[in-house]
Amino acid sequence: MELLKLGIPKGSLQESTINLFKRAGYNITVSSRSYYPQIDDDQIEVMLLRPQEMALYVERGVIDVGLAGRDWVRECKADVLEIASLTYSKQTNQPARWVLAVGEESPIESVADLEGKVIFTELVEATRNYLAQSGVNATVKFSHGATEVKIPHLCDAIVEITETGSSLRANQLKIVDVVMESVTTLISNRESWQNEWKQTKTKNLYMLLSGALTAEQKVGLKMNISQENLNSLLAILPAMKNPTISSLSDDGWYAVETIIDEHVVRDLIPELRRIGAEGIIEYPLNKVIP
């Protein structure tokens, strides 16, 4: 039997990744003592791996495909295929940012001010490339965690990952520049991608994961409307393509169903009610496949 070996990230992305798989239709069960979680698909074998090393396991063929931040894929310079992006993180569905940060009272205002300075970061290679592109010579050292506290005791600046910036502000740091943005990336071993079955299985997996992410931002909306008010409703009703309209058993009445962005619903429903929509139902979605 064919088997797809899949790596999922251990650590800060672990819980959000397992939740995403659940919404996509896969149940993953993790044991605290094992790096081999169980999944309810006998064609997939899962390994739990550090995202910083995921691309190395994929490159060597230990696993066929894996999910890791694009930052770590580029950092370790692994020879893998980047198949697609999945924009989700531990707190938000926005790309994570690696930012250059200094103390709030620091005179450093731009990358040019780092000439001759010391920078601590976990993202050493990318930071060196960033400095080189700016024509700046500075010392970059690897940080073994707790990077924010190293200013001003060990360094002049740090390059740290952030989603909201709250941790930096809490440590009296300010952002000077964005070094790079990163999203979760589905990567594949090059030889595995040449296997037709594994490629198809990977594409199917990505379709479902992507559909689950899209569904997070959208809801379904159903309502009834009289024929005389139908055009007014359609004029204000957003839809992915066109809403579904079907006749009701009562003459002159229609059922309308559509999928819309969740953030517009709170303003839209009162407006729909005012133009005569009745029986309005909002419901969550598991997956949306465009």
Its domain, for residue 228, covers 218-284
Whether residue 39 is found in the same domain as residue 21: yes
Instruction: Tell me which of 134, 165, 181 is where a domain ends.
Output: 181
pLDDT tens figures, 9-45: 998 889 999 999 999 999 999 987 889 999 999 999 9
Q: Write the single-letter amino acid at 4.
A: L
Whether residue 232 is found in the same domain as residue 110: no
For 19, 50, 53, 87, 224, the CA distances from 83, given in Å and listed in that order, are: 21, 19, 17, 13, 43
Whether residue 161 is found in the same domain as residue 265: no
240: confidence class by pLDDT, cuts 50, 70, 90: low
Phi/psi-derived region of residue 77, left when phi > 0, alpha when psi is between -120 and 50, beta in every other case: left
186: confidence class by pLDDT, cuts 50, 70, 90: very high
In a domain, 290, yes or no: no
Query: Which pLDDT score, from 0 to 100, does residue 237 have?
Result: 87
In a domain, 29, yes or no: yes
State residue 75 phi and psi, 5-degree precision: -65, -40
Whether residue 46 is found in the same domain as residue 110: no
pLDDT tens figures, 99-145: 999 999 999 999 999 999 999 999 999 999 999 999 999 999 999 98
Whether residue 129 is found in the same domain as residue 109: yes
Whether residue 35 is found in the same domain as residue 64: yes
Whether residue 134 is found in the same domain as residue 164: yes
Query: Which pLDDT score, from 0 to 100, does residue 12 have?
Result: 83
In a domain, 289, yes or no: no
Which residue's structure tokens are 């707790």? 146
List % helix, strand, coil for the chain (3-state, nearest 5): 35, 30, 35
pLDDT tens figures, 76-91: 989 999 999 998 865 5
User: What pTM does this model have?
Assistant: 0.83
Instruction: Tell me which of 215, 231, 265 is where a domain ends.
Output: 215
Spatial distance between the Cα atoms of 80 and 66, rounded to a whole number of angstroms = 10
Q: What is the CATH number of the domain that holds 176?
A: 3.40.190.10
* Number of structural domains the chain divides into: 3
In a domain, 253, yes or no: yes
Whether residue 165 is found in the same domain as residue 22: no
Whether residue 84 is found in the same domain as residue 203: yes
Whether residue 141 is found in the same domain as residue 259: no
Which residue's structure tokens are 């809490």? 170
Query: Which pLDDT score, from 0 to 100, does residue 281 have?
Result: 97
Whether residue 115 is found in the same domain as residue 237: no
Query: Which pLDDT score, from 0 to 100, does residue 13 have?
Result: 87
For 119, 172, 218, 275, the CA distances from 140, given in Å and listed in that order, are: 5, 21, 43, 62
Whether residue 159 is found in the same domain as residue 261: no
